[in-house]
Chain A
């Protein structure tokens, strides 16, 4: 877990306004965050802009992440990049919403026990996804990794919207049961 510790330490120095630490944090993590943005947006220049916007939020909210604790530092940054990218994808939406969301994530993190528990669950998600019937695991992945909406998922799998919603909710119930075992 050395890398997690290092990122966490860079993030907490960033919270103190340490630009050098912020620069190192960028160097260590921007590949992943750019990957996240590219996966959702599939366009280099938009993804680059979203990447910058994500790091601006990270710079501004680093303090709250450090104070709130909870989610892993990398998980927190990926969440910011993913949400910023999805917001850009659905451009009509108010960017402020997502600012509030990152506030809350930082402010009301789960307890350490819940994090440990969730971390175990995180490792299990691939196994649990593979137990779903074929296109259903793809629907969950499409929603998470590519930021697809119900309407886009319906189109992608050529099924009615209500069907895809039912699929996905059942998949989520299965996932939760599988992960809670």
Chain B
């Protein structure tokens, strides 16, 4: 890494110019392409970033206008009722009709019984069953979730709707006032199963399930970032 005779060929200098933003747009793009593959080059960039950061102390702090923070929060989180956590706002539409629960129960029995044709009386041996129909208000999205407490497994079947193009559906479990816990991205096929985290199993009967619209791969933050499309409460069967 000793300085070479030709500064243009010195990667360390090129990295410094890149950090300073002295490269022309085309050079910058070419450098960034190399950066993606060249780990040592990336370290040079990080090294110069740290070195130049000594000058940060020369920058005077200026208190931004109050409007800046408000505007930021609106841009990020939307307006007004944002002070109320998402999972509490869900309460507004938790009122599921009895009919939809009964219908869901019917389907749940079929789903659970189909594989092994287990007669209903055998269920006591297998542990309690719980179900939830996670549905949009307008029924444009419906997902049936059946939980078998013996297996600790939540069986998911999508019965209506799908993710928007280029987006995914992510399933969340909400226990009481706690923050939503991700149960994962719903499979595109519409059917799948997840193992319920240990901590949630004891409270499964009071659990709320919700489905949110997320970018591919699921929420990048660990909390729902897109619109909550469907909500349902878990009931013991």
Contact = CB atoms under 8 A, between A and B. Distances in A.
A168 B10 CA distance: 14
Contacts of A173: 3, 7, 10, 13
Given A56-B76, A108-B42, A143-B20, A118 B69 contact: no
Q: Quick one: which of A30, A38, A39, A118 has the most chain B CB within 10 A? A: A118
Nearest to B51: A121
B71 A52 contact: yes
A135 interface: no
Given A16-B222, A30-B68, A122 B51 contact: yes
B12 A31 contact: no
Closest 7 CB pairs of A and B: A118-B50, A17-B223, A31-B61, A125-B54, A122-B54, A17-B221, A34-B64
Contact of A75 (B3, B32, B49): B49
A133 B45 CA distance: 25
Given A26-B72, A97-B28, A125-B52, A70 B46 contact: yes
B121 interface: no
Interface of A: 15-17, 19, 23, 26, 30-32, 34-36, 38-39, 44, 47-48, 51-52, 55-56, 59-60, 63, 70-72, 74-75, 78-79, 83, 86, 93, 97, 100-101, 104-105, 108-110, 114-115, 118-119, 121-126, 129, 140-141, 143-145, 147, 149-150, 168-170, 172-173, 175-177, 179
B38 to A, nearest CB: 10
Nearest to A77: B56
Contact of A104 (B10, B35, B73, B225): B35
A165 B222 CA distance: 46
B25 interface: yes
B12 A141 contact: no
Nearest to B63: A31
Interface of B: 3, 7, 10, 12-13, 16-17, 20-22, 25, 28-29, 32, 35-36, 39, 42-43, 45-47, 49-56, 58-65, 67-69, 71-73, 75-77, 220-223, 225
Nearest to B52: A144
Contact of B22 (A36, A38, A97, A149): A149
Interface SS of chain B: helix, strand, loop or mixed?
Answer: helix
29 contacts: A16-B222, A16-B223, A30-B68, A34-B62, A34-B63, A35-B61, A48-B65, A48-B67, A48-B68, A51-B64, A52-B71, A56-B72, A70-B46, A71-B49, A71-B53, A72-B50, A74-B56, A75-B50, A93-B25, A104-B42, A108-B39, A108-B46, A110-B43, A143-B20, A144-B55, A150-B22, A169-B17, A177-B3, A179-B51
Contacts of A71: 46, 49-50, 53
Contacts of B20: 140, 143-144
Given A48-B68, A125-B54, A143-B20, A35 B49 contact: no
Contact of B51 (A26, A118, A150): A118
A16 B181 CA distance: 11
A140 B62 CA distance: 23
A114 B1 CA distance: 15
A16 B42 contact: no
